[in-house]
Amino acid sequence: MKEIDVRGYHAGLREIHVLAPNDRSTFLSTLPATQSDRTAALAIVGISAILFALAVPFAGTPLAQVPAFVASYQSALAVSDTITAVLLLSQFAVLRNRALLLLATGYLFTAAAAVTHALTFPGLFAPAGLFGAGSQTTVWLYMIWHGGFPLFVLAYSWLKDGNGGNRVAGSTASAVALSVAGVLAAMAVFGWLVTAQHGLLPVLLKDGHYTTTMIGVVSFVWSLSFAALITLWFRRPHTVIDVWLMVTMCAWLFDIALSAIVNVARYDLGFYAGRLYGLCAASFVLAVLLIENVRLQAHTVGLVGKLRQQSASDRDFYGKRLALYGAVVESSNDAIITESLDGVITGWNKAAEHLFGYSAAEAIGQSIYLVVPEDRKAEARGILNRISDNESIAQHETVRVRKDGRQLDVVLNVSPLRSDSGEIIGASKIAHDITEEKQAREKLRRETEERQLIFETSQDLILVTDGFGNFVQVSPSVKDILGYSPDDMIGHSATEFIHPDDLDKTRNEMRAARRGAVKRSFEARYYHDDGHEVTLNWMGTWSEPVKRHFFIGRDLTDKQAAEAQFRQVQKMDSIGQLTGGVAHDFNNVLTVITGTIGILADAVADRPELAAITKLIDDAAERGAQLTKHLLAFARKQPLQPREIDVNALTLEAAKLLHPTLGEQITIMPQLTEDAWPALIDPGQLSTAILNLALNARDAMPGGGTLVLETRNVFLDDGYASMNPDVLAGNYVMIAVSDTGTGIPPDLIERVFDPFFTTKEVGKGTGLGLSMVFGFVKQSGGHIKIYSEEGHGTSVKIYLPRSSGVQETEFEALQNVPVTGGDERILIVEDDALVRQYVMTQVKSLGYTALEAANAAEALVIIDADQDIDLLFTDIIMPGNMNGRQLADEAARRRPDLKTLFTSGYTENAIVHHGRLDSGVLLLAKPYRKSELAKMLRTALAS
């Protein structure tokens, strides 16, 4: 909406200040007394007291009898009290306070008593008074009159409070009528008592003088007045009427004292002076009320003038404001529409013409359905119904239609439209076009969702830090890469996770980014949750508007492992080429030696000493020939004679030959698969390989042990091939040679196939046994893998390619059945990070929820924290104080319902017969294909 200068005009109704905070026009019964009120009242009381003191000595002085004085006094008193009562009752009609009603009733009572007293006073209207008055009638009426009013004042004092007293709940007119009726009834009773029952009353006045009884009665009446005065004084806070009521009670006390205590008889000085005090007492409150009413009237006249002036100013003000509002409506960029409650358009500004395409002449008088799509008419009717129920509608998004049929997305703000009397007569709508805004929002939403999806599904690590290097956002992939959850890192400094040696490099890159470097790539190592280092390649940038660093880190672990394996393959190939060349040339030399040594032996046959030397030379040449044969085997250049063989038969034959070689302390246990596939291999070389592996196993078991020879049909899948670059996925026949010996240290595993490398003592082996096996397997197109744990044993697995041209076996058909997964939660415990990552990927691909731990301690923490884990899938041999079997036992103690599946690089039969697992325990031997993993997981979960 356009901005319009509305300075000089109020946004809402202007306020008119009618009353000042301490204006005297408020009710005297609630207006707090001021110091000036108290000063004036005190001055009057002081003057009255002085005059009283001067009159007391002469109170008994007889004066002339003037009955007209009594009549005039009584009339004035009755009129004054009546007017005072009327004014007080008018305040009561507004304030409704019970104390004010009692005070007004007291004044009505004094007025009624004064009239009755005058009518019965002897010599005024009749020699002995009217109504059958006796000699004691008027004096008793005087006592009733002067004793009754203090009682009303006492009641007023006790009921009044800061708000004017307890309020009357019912009708004020009924309360006033009841008050008047009560006063008249009371005076009728008292009048009857002092006239018709005159003889029953004690004598107060005899021969024009007061009796002793009179002194007692008048003292009691005077005490009531004094009590009323004291009660008023202590019942604070004082209002204006309270102050002048206290003045009245003082005058009332002087009246009683002069006319009924210190005087002697009627018509003496005290008689006349006391009644003058009584007249003054009746006039004080009345005078204050009248003065305040006159002041209020004068103030009202002035206020009316101001209101007339204000009205003229307001007419001009509202006329200008109406014109201003009209300009605002017409210049608004939002469509402003008014309509009646039945949906007829009554107002249509220029923005509405532009938005909907209809001119004001075309729209006004038409139904609002003119711009409402067919499927939105019920909604439009509902909006009008809500408006008619005095409900306002804010920021309601809906759809409307233009004259050309194009639909618009709009947001509506709808308010009730009222007449001057406040009646709802229609609705006022402000429609804002949000079509482009909504399209932009939708586009932004899609982009945000896509970016969030990228963030959440990225296999790379995405980090966002503030300018100080504290993590603000961390992608979920951090769990797979570093083992932390995002919450573990958010709010922490990156320095807690970066390798100390890479901190300076990282800081320099961040400084360069803030200096304007747009793109940068660098490597930095982070610590994994289990403590090992993870090398990440980082791409990063700095956003100046949001003051954030954005990083994308790619885990180089797999790449480095692949490069290491590739280097190992290259190393083995290089060594193979070197040893092959040396062996070839050495064979040429040996050929000459072995070819000529026979000639030399024949020539010196008759000379024993020389014949012995030639025999030594011949033996050395033979040993050299065997050495070159091993070197050629490692270099994969030995002549092979492959043929299709039965690996089970060859293994059994080898087992028979090994019995005398290994000795009685070694137990040989063949574990052969009945339907083992045939392999295309050189049987002699395979027998030699098994013999070499068995001899190594024997040396690793100096105290005896068990040697297991096992065959099995396996399928090495793409996942395994990706972790071992020299392997082609496919079917293989596995021959495993496992022992229960001392094992091989982890730092030596990668070197065991190197030529001339040996851990045996000098003179006890050439170091070519395993390298010859390695070369033979590789030359045959196979794969070899060694698993070993110090103190537990070693298992060497040879994978020979399956012979082609044979029918698919029952085993193979079973393995090719589509794999099935599940949705259970599986905890994977594996100390090798690369293997653990591979297993996590395979398990997740089967639909399971996978959790990971690097050792038994971590696994137990997860088991205690997550009660929904269905299966523990753990390696058997792990570093630390607890191996896989001990972990399973402890987990079963904590969670008896938790199922367990073991895995190991050893063959299943080797492990069982080593005694580290009980019979019947499920174990999945490494390596395994995805179908085997899926089958064993389902078997374990169903066990």
More confident position, 424 or 834: 424
Q: Are 213 and 221 in contact (CB under 8 A)?
A: no
Looking at residue 938, what DSSP letter applies?
H
DSSP structure class, residue 3? -
Per-residue pLDDT, 914: 44
pLDDT band at 583 (very low <50, low <70, confident <90, very high): low
Residues 6+ apart with CB under 8 A from 500: none
β-pairing verdict for 849-853 and 871-875: unpaired
- Distances in Å between the Cα of 615 and the Cα atoms of 403, 590, 593, 603, 612 are 117, 15, 12, 13, 5
Highest average pLDDT, of 609-623, 699-713, 792-806, comes from 699-713
What's the rounded Cα separation, in Å, for the pair 73 and 3?
76
- Bridge partner residues of 573 (DSSP): none
Q: How big is the chain, counted in residues? A: 943
The residue among 686 and 711 whose pLDDT is bigger is 711
Pick the closest to residue 588 from 637, 625, 638 (CA basis). Answer: 625
Q: Are 165 and 99 in contact (CB under 8 A)?
A: yes
With H, G, I as helix, E, B as strand and everything else as coil, classify residue 302. Answer: helix
CA dihedral 676, 680, 686, 689 (to 10 degrees): -90
| Cα dihedral: 663, 664, 665, 668 (round 10) | 90
* pLDDT above 60: residue 812: no
Please name which of 498, 435, 933, 171 lies closest in space to residue 510, comparing C-alpha atoms: 498
Confidence of residue 560 (pLDDT cuts 50, 70, 90): low
Q: Contact 711/648 with Cβ under 8 angstroms?
A: yes
pLDDT at position 849: 93
Spatial CA neighbour of 387 closest among 347, 345, 348, 340: 340
pLDDT tens per residue across span 96-149: 888 888 888 988 998 888 888 888 887 777 777 777 787 788 888 888 888 888
Q: Angle CA(738)–CA(744)–CA(749) in degrees, nearest 5?
A: 100
DSSP code at position 517: -
Distance CA 889, CA 465 (A): 44
Distance CA 911, CA 281 (A): 123
Residues 6 or more apart in contact with residue 641 via CB below 8 angstroms: 682, 684
> What confidence tens digit (pLDDT) does each residue in 347-368 have?
898 888 888 899 988 889 998 8
CA 39/CA 516 separation, integer angstroms: 84
Q: Is 899 helix (H, G, I), strand (E, B) or coil?
A: strand
Spatial distance between the Cα atoms of 352 and 356, rounded to a whole number of angstroms: 6
Q: Is the pLDDT of residue 13 over 50?
A: no
Distance CA 153, CA 229 (A): 8
Render pLDDT for 516-537 as a digit per residue (tens, 0 to 9).
Answer: 665 667 788 888 888 888 888 7
pLDDT at 208: 64
For 37-46, the pLDDT digits (tens) are: 888 888 888 8
Cβ atoms of 736 and 797 within 8 Å: the answer is: yes
What pairing do the DSSP bridges indicate for beta strands 666-671 and 705-716? parallel
Tell me how crowded residue 875 is: count the other CB atoms within 10 A of its CB.
23
The whole-chain average pLDDT of the chain stands at 78
Q: 173 with 126: CB under 8 angstroms?
A: no
**pLDDT tops 50 at residue 30:** yes
CB distance 334 to 324 below 8 Å: no
Question: What is the per-residue pLDDT for 14?
Answer: 44
Paired with 827 in beta bridges are 851, 872
β-strand pairing of 424-433 with 461-466: unpaired
Residue 616 CA, distance from chain mean position: 91
Mean pLDDT of 177-185: 90
SS3 849: strand
3-state DSSP helix/strand/coil percent for the chain, to nearest 5?
Answer: 55, 20, 30
Which pLDDT belongs to residue 586?
56
Greatest mean pLDDT range, 12-26, 265-279, 885-899: 885-899
Please tell me the least confidently modeled range out of 403-407, 471-475, 588-592: 588-592
Nearest one of 894, 900, 890 to 920, comparing CA atoms: 900
| Helix H or strand E encompassing 939 | helix 930-942
CA distance 840 to 251: 107
Answer whether 0.85 is exceeded by the pTM. no
**Does residue 465 register a pLDDT over 80?**
yes
Give the position of tokens 């690996």: 647
The stretch 568-584 carries a mean pLDDT of: 54
DSSP strands (E only) in 372-485? 393-401, 407-418, 424-433, 461-466, 471-474
HSE-up (13 A, CA, CB side) for residue 255: 23
Percentage of the chain modeled with pLDDT above 70: 81
Q: How confident is the model at residue 300 (pLDDT cuts 50, 70, 90)?
A: confident
Out of 64-68, 630-634, 800-804, which region has the weakest mean confidence (pLDDT)? 630-634
Name the residue among 650, 739, 727, 653 with its Cα closest to residue 694.
Answer: 739
Confidence of residue 900 (pLDDT cuts 50, 70, 90): very high
Read off the pLDDT of residues 825-865 as tens digits, 9 standing for 90 and up.
999 998 878 778 878 888 898 899 999 999 999 999 999 99
The whole-number pLDDT of residue 522 equals 78
